[in-house]
Structure 1
Amino acid sequence: MRAHICAVGRLRAGPERDLIDDYLTRFDRTGRSLGLGPATLHEVEDRKGGGMAAEAPLLERAVPKGALVCVLDERGRLMSSPEFARQLGQWRDMGRGDVAFLIGGADGLAPELRDRADFKLSFGKMVWPHMLARVMLAEQLYRAASILAGSPYHRE
């Protein structure tokens, strides 16, 4: 099952980009034998400043046809890392070829896009910078693959 991180804004070279690249490489390497990966980052940008309403169609175009859509939203489901790993494994076992994780811009996701999602995931009640949310998601994807592989990376 391929993973797609579809996010608003372009991440420049720097520590966040380095972390994302590292974790997605680790996810690809660990997940390959589990039927997970590769993971791809799709960045979209609304150059006219139209906010959530303008960003929504850009994000929708970045989602592969037939993909399960999971939005990151503070109103979403709180999960532990093992629960997230089990959820990824269930989607894979259901035959889903692609899962797309949508991360909005500074104002979040348009309500209609959020409402159409197959799954809503929260990283807690706090609001995280959208650039940092990418790093956190990339790490959790790697952690999930490690958990499913029985690797010692995740300790309970």
Structure 2
Amino acid sequence: MRVTICAIGRLRAGPELDLIKDYISRFDRTGRNLGLGPAQIVELEDKKGGGSAAEAALLDRAVPKGATVCTLDERGKVMTSPDFANMLGDWRDRGTSDVAFLIGGADGLTKDLRARADASVSFGKMVWPHMLARVMLAEQMYRAASILTGSPYHRV
């Protein structure tokens, strides 16, 4: 099951990008035998300044055809890491070939884009900058793959 993280904004070289690359690499290695991955990040920029509607159009076009869509949104479901792992595992077991996680810009995701999503996940009631949301998502993807393999990475 391929995973695409569609995110508004570009990350420059630095610790956040290093962490994301590391966790995506770990996810790909760990998930390979589970039917998870590869994962990729698609960075999008609204160069014309069209606001959240333009960002929503960019995100919508970046989603692979037929993909299950999951938004990262403060209004989404707060879940445990094992719940997140089970969600990924359930999608895989149902034969889902592509999953796209959507991360909006400073103004978040439009109502229409949120309504189109198959699922929505929240990292808590606080709002996180897009660069940190990417790091957290990449880590949770790796943690999910580790949980599904029975690895001791996730401790209860």
TM beyond 0.5: yes
CA distance in 2, matches of 1:3, 1:111: 23
One-letter amino acid matched to 2:40: T
CA distance in 1, matches of 2:116, 2:67: 13
Aligned pairs, number: 156
1:133 aligns with 2:139: no
Unmatched 5+ residue regions in structure 1?
none
C-alpha deviation, 1:63, in angstroms: 0.5
Write the mapping of 1:2-13 to structure 2, written as runs, cut at 5 A: 2-13=2-13
CA distance in 1, matches of 2:108, 2:94: 29
What TM-score do you get using the length of structure 1 for normalisation?
0.99
Coordinate RMSD, CA, aligned:
0.5
SS at match of 2:107: coil
CA distance in 1, matches of 2:68, 2:94: 11
CA distance in 1, matches of 2:89, 2:103: 21
SS at match of 1:55: helix
- CA deviations on 1:54-107 (whole Å, 9 max, x unpaired) are 101111111100000000001000100000000100000000001000000011
Write the mapping of 1:35-114 to structure 2, written as runs, cut at 5 A: 35-114=35-114
CA distance in 2, matches of 1:132, 1:49: 23
What is the match of residue 15 of structure 2? 15
C-alpha deviation, 1:29, in angstroms: 0.1
Moved over 4 A (4+): none
Q: Share of identical aligned residues, percent?
A: 76
Unmatched 5+ residue regions in structure 2?
none
